[in-house]
Amino acid sequence: MLYYLCSFQSSVEEAVLMKPYYYYNVFFEIQTKLGFVFFALTHLIPRSPYSF
């Protein structure tokens, strides 16, 4: 019982420590997807309203 409690606590601590990295990864992924969509709108689609 004590072992499970200790492992649970360590996993909680790990989750708390990893949370910023997780949020950063999600933000980076969203930013990359938005950048790709913007690139597609500006460069790949001819005569789109966003193409320069």
Q: How confident is the model over 8-25, as pLDDT tens digits?
A: 667 777 777 778 888 888
Tell me what the pLDDT averaged over the chain comes to: 76
Nearest alpha carbon to residue 39 among 29, 30, 27, 51: 51
Whether the CB-CB separation of 50 and 42 falls below 8 Å is answered with yes
C-alpha–C-alpha distance, residues 45 and 38, integer Å: 10
Q: Helices H, strands E: what count in the chain?
A: 1, 0
Confidence band (pLDDT; 50, 70, 90) for 40? confident
Whether the CB-CB separation of 9 and 17 falls below 8 Å is answered with no
